[in-house]
């Protein structure tokens, strides 16, 4: 006999198999939470991983806390804490659903702690490396003017690359020396100062570089390609990597966020308080920004060891 479950998802009142609960769970995520296909696939993959690990040792719908903790221990032996944390998150959501639907009597993940993850300290560039990188583009050409203005803007405002490529000309106020950053989903827009150098190079790019790149084409995008189209995240990353190679800067740890990390690290190193850096970066939580104190302290220790007579 079929009975209505929470918010229109139907399950059977008698004992359900794992596959049946999994199907109902994924359907509820699709209909109610409207998760993407990729996210649904990730949930399915993580839950099947647990089911395969359990094998014939028990029913995945009817397991206890000890089984969950042994599973997480097995994941940690072969993987990273982040993988174990992700799989536990999927299990917690799955068993909450199963309990609500009456498929199991208790949530075995209720008191299971999330594995502690070590916070990765982001790689950054030294101030000298940044200066070298900024001076690498050939500013005698329209493309070089664009690259110099792009690098200056990234470093001066600490933008995400996704924010940079969304910038439109009317979001930059060169008279006031600020840029309006229109953030992505779930983030707040913010106004960030640019600094004198970035303003100078943006003025030159807008006057002598961008018109040549556009030709007769029209675009609202601030940074455009040689074909006159808005730049993409991939094209920006490609240019940064190429310029770093030209400058003789190691690209082993280079990422699209490198200049953003350098922006935050150098601010903290020079005495900026975390609240200010948090607002400039657009971080929702101060805890996200605190990582840069570790970066700055590590850098100061390195400089002390290199230059102090008793380092």
Per the annotation, the verdict on 241 as an active-site residue is: no
Q: Which of 70, 190, 241, 283 is catalytic?
A: 283
Catalytic residue among 166, 257, 261, 266: 257
Please identify which of the residues 7, 116, 140, 185 carries the catalytic annotation: 185
- Judge whether 283 counts as a catalytic residue: yes
Q: Which of 87, 146, 160, 261 is catalytic?
A: 160
Cα(191)–Cα(150) distance, integer angstroms: 17
123 in catalytic set: no
Which residue among 148, 210, 260, 266 is the active-site one? 260
Task: Out of 71, 95, 155, 292, pick the active-site residue.
Answer: 292
Give catalytic status of residue 2 as yes or no.
Answer: no
Active site residues: 160, 185, 257, 260, 283, 292
């Amino acid at each position: 006999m079929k009975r209505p479950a929470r918010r229109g998802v139907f399950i059977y009142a008698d004992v359900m198999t794992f596959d049946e609960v999994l199907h109902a769970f994924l359907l509820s995520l699709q209909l109610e939470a409207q998760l993407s296909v990729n996210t649904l696939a990730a949930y399915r993959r993580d839950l099947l991983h647990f089911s395969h690990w359990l094998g014939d040792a028990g029913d995945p719908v009817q397991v206890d806390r000890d089984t969950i903790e042994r599973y997480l221990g097995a994941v940690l032996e072969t993987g990273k804490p982040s993988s174990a944390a992700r799989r536990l998150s999927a299990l917690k959501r799955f068993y909450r659903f199963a309990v609500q639907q009456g498929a199991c009597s208790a949530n075995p993940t209720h008191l299971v702690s999330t594995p502690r993850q070590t916070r990765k300290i982001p790689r950054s560039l030294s101030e000298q490396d940044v200066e070298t990188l900024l001076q690498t583009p050939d500013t005698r050409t329209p493309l070089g003017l664009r690259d110099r203005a792009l690098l200056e803007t990234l470093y001066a405002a600490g933008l995400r690359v996704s924010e940079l490529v969304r910038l439109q000309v009317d979001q930059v106020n060169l008279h006031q020396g600020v840029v309006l950053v229109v953030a992505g989903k779930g983030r707040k827009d913010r106004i960030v100062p640019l600094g004198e150098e970035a303003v100078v190079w943006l003025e030159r790019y807008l006057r002598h570089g961008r018109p040549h790149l556009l030709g007769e084409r029209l675009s609202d995008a601030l940074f455009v390609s040689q074909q006159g189209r808005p730049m993409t995240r991939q094209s920006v990353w490609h240019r940064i990597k190429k310029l770093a190679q030209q400058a003789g800067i190691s690209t082993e740890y280079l990422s699209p966020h490198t200049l953003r990390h350098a922006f935050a690290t150098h601010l903290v190193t020079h005495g900026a308080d975390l609240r200010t850096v948090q607002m400039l970066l657009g971080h929702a939580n101060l805890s996200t920004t605190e990582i840069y104190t570790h970066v700055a302290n590590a850098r100061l220790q390195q400089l002390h060891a290199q230059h102090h007579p008793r380092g």
